[in-house]
Homo-oligomer: A and B are copies of this chain.
Amino acid sequence: MTQRPSTAPTATRGHDDAMQNNHAFDNAEKTLEGLHAGQSLSSLFVSSTAEVVAAGKAICWEGDKANHLFQVEEGVVRLHRIIGEGRRVITAFHFAGDLIGASLQNDFLVTAEAVTECKIRRISRKSFHEEVARSNALGPAYISLLCQEAAAAHEQMGAACRRRMREERLCSFIVKLRSRRNPQPRQGLLRVPMNRQDIADHLGLTIETVSRTITKLAARNIVVPEGRHDLRIVNLARLVQLSGDADDFSENSCHRVNLH
């Protein structure tokens, strides 16, 4: 079932090669596997042309034939599925370096949309698999990537089941955001590219609950919003603690699907 909202035309191709590498802030530890998988699979995309996708535009649609894989070169992408009438679940956000569609076999299971203006590269599924089959380094890298993706999905699942809902979920979300390849405005500030509705749909909450929770965290001087898209992290230790009692945190919850 292919359904295209009229407001979301297909990705426009462009040739804007003036990359600004302002990835100033990236505190994620990189797993050995992540690095390995990333380096080799990234090489498949270098020869393709970067496409510019305006904020809000779709890159691919749930239900479409998954003929391409995409790599986010710059910007933020949200993946969502429609469930029931009028509701949406954002299953993941993807940042610079992340691959979209690696775990697909036939159809896209999610719609991908640009949260901010993005640069993306694409290769066909066919040539991707040919390359993976040809090379003997790419196979393990691909498998490693799939395993990371599965681990991330499991992690997200766990997060979604937290009881002390809003607080835990939101803190967990903020902490994860910190560990992504997400350009930071300036020291101590965390950029939050997505709007409140996106966050709500990702966390399974309403926009009002998200807003109220942020307000409460601000009152406790843990994180303080500065404008709509930035958070000042005042008390990181407390934030991490609130995000799910920390013990197994730094290890497990930072698995990412990042190719850089």
Residues of A within 8 A of B (CB): 1, 33, 63, 81-85, 87, 89, 91, 103-105, 109-110, 139, 142-144, 146-151, 153-154, 156-158, 160-163, 201, 203-204, 244-245, 248, 252
Q: Which of A63, A84, A161, A204 has the most CB of B within 10 A?
A: A161
Q: Which residues of B contact A105 (CB under 8 A)?
A: 33, 144, 147-148, 151
The one of B109, B142, B153 that contacts A252, using a Cβ cutoff of 8 Å: B109
- By Cβ-Cβ distance, the 6 closest A-B pairs, closest first, are A161-B204, A153-B153, A103-B150, A160-B160, A84-B245, A146-B146
Contact B144 A147 (CB under 8 A): no
Question: Is A154 within 8 A of B109, CB to CB?
Answer: yes
A-B contact pairs, 29 of them (CB 8 A): A33-B105, A63-B248, A81-B248, A83-B161, A83-B244, A83-B245, A84-B244, A84-B245, A87-B163, A89-B157, A89-B161, A91-B158, A103-B150, A104-B151, A105-B148, A105-B151, A110-B154, A142-B143, A143-B146, A146-B146, A146-B147, A150-B150, A150-B153, A153-B153, A153-B154, A156-B157, A160-B161, A161-B203, A162-B204
CA distance A63 to B247 in the complex (A): 12
Alpha-carbon gap, A139 to B143, bound state (A): 9
* Chain B: CB-nearest residue to A154: B91
- B84 contacts A204, CB within 8 Å? no
Contact B151 A89 (CB under 8 A): no
Are the CB atoms of B153 and A204 closer together than 8 Å? no
Indicate which residue in B83, B85, B91, B163 contacts A204 across the interface (CB closer than 8 Å): B163
Across the interface, A1 reaches (CB within 8 A) one of B110, B201, B204, B248, namely B248
Q: Is the CB of B151 within 8 A of A109?
A: yes
Residue ID in chain B nearest A142 by CB atoms: B143
Contact of A139 among B104, B139, B157, B160 (CB under 8 A): B139
